[in-house]
């Protein structure tokens, strides 16, 4: 029926957002504390930013990139490079893996978690996507301890997540890239993470 074409897996960006902090188990039974409207996109003298006052988060939009607020559950924001070919299904569902370009997603999970919890949830979430590999690395973002998760899956391809657990929140930042754009996208992601500000 589909010939030689690969079957694309439709996956909600929201599922990818929770890969780093993951957690099908805790996600299903918890109270929703944020909302999409918490994310405000603003033009400033220094460029475009995204602010979530409720969570105390400000990030700078990479220059020349597009920004889209995700209208699901607690919300989130997706940033994508000009060369990104996105296949949308409905308002906030993207077909993955990407053919070209980079996508960075950010969201806040209102849950008290530590690195052990994040690793367990990430391993479970990645297993449901056909995990091929996963590596964890402790790093620092915005002067806070963070966990970088480098992964590859059968269903959505490779990516990187960076999660900052702080008090009763986990700030999540995720990167997905087109097949031949890994290095460029990783450089943009590192620059993006340098702009993260958390109160």
Banded model confidence at residue 112, pLDDT cuts 50, 70, 90: very high
Can you give the pLDDT at residue 180? 86
27 three-state secondary structure: helix
Question: Does position 5 have pLDDT exceeding 50, yes or no?
Answer: no
In 3D space, the residue among 41, 40, 81 whose CA is nearest the CA of residue 63 turns out to be 81
- The Cα–Cα gap between 163 and 165 comes to 6
Q: Are 164 and 113 spatial neighbours (Cβ–Cβ below 8 Å)?
A: no
Residue 70 lies in a domain: yes
Banded model confidence at residue 93, pLDDT cuts 50, 70, 90: low
Residue 2 lies in a domain: no
Residue 27 lies in a domain: yes
More confident residue, 71 or 80: 80
The domain of 19 spans 9-198
Q: Is 123 exposed, middle or buried (0-12, 13-18, 19+ CB in 10 A)?
A: middle
Residue 53 lies in a domain: yes
Q: How many domains does the chain have?
A: 1
Among 26-35, 44-53, 55-64, 102-111, the least confident range: 26-35
In 3D space, the residue among 192, 133, 138 whose CA is nearest the CA of residue 165 turns out to be 138
Residue 74 lies in a domain: yes
Banded model confidence at residue 70, pLDDT cuts 50, 70, 90: confident
In sequence order, what E strands does the chain have?
Answer: 9-12, 40-44, 47-52, 57-60, 66-70, 76-80, 88-89, 93-96, 102-109, 131-141, 144-153, 157-166, 169-177, 197-198
Residue 31 lies in a domain: yes
Among 115-119, 124-128, 160-164, 176-180, the least confident range: 176-180
Mean local confidence (pLDDT), 184-189: 96
Residue 133 lies in a domain: yes
Mean pLDDT of the chain: 83
| Residue listed under structure tokens 């620092």 | 140
pLDDT 10s digits, 113-123? 999 999 999 99
Q: 99: domain CATH number?
A: 3.40.1000.10
Neighbour count for residue 104 (Cβ, 10 Å): 26
For the whole model, what pTM was predicted?
0.82
Can you give the pLDDT at residue 88? 66
- The Cα–Cα gap between 155 and 128 comes to 9
Q: How far is residue 21 CA from its own chain's centroid?
A: 10
In 3D space, the residue among 168, 181, 137 whose CA is nearest the CA of residue 31 turns out to be 168
Q: Are 92 and 72 spatial neighbours (Cβ–Cβ below 8 Å)?
A: yes
Residue 158 lies in a domain: yes
Question: Does position 140 have pLDDT exceeding 80, yes or no?
Answer: yes
Mean local confidence (pLDDT), 160-173: 96
């Amino acid at each position: 029926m589909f010939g030689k074409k690969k079957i694309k897996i439709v996956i909600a960006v929201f599922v990818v957002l929770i890969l780093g902090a993951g957690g099908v188990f805790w996600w299903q039974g918890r109270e929703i504390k944020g909302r999409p409207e918490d994310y405000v996109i603003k033009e400033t003298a220094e460029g475009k930013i995204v602010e979530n006052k409720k969570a105390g988060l400000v990030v700078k939009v990479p220059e020349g990139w597009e920004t889209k607020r995700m209208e699901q559950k607690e919300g989130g924001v997706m940033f994508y490079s000009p060369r990104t070919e996105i296949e949308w299904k409905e308002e906030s569902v993207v077909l993955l893996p990407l053919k070209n370009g980079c996508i960075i997603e950010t969201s806040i999970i209102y849950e008290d978690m530590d690195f052990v919890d994040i690793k367990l949830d990430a391993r479970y979430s990645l297993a449901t996507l056909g995990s091929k590999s996963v590596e964890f690395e402790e790093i620092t973002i915005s002067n806070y301890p963070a966990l970088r998760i480098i992964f590859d899956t059968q269903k959505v391809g490779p990516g990187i997540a960076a999660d900052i657990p702080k008090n009763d929140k986990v700030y999540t930042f995720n990167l997905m890239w087109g097949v031949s754009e890994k290095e460029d996208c990783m450089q943009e992601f590192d620059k993006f993470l340098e702009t993260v500000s958390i109160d």
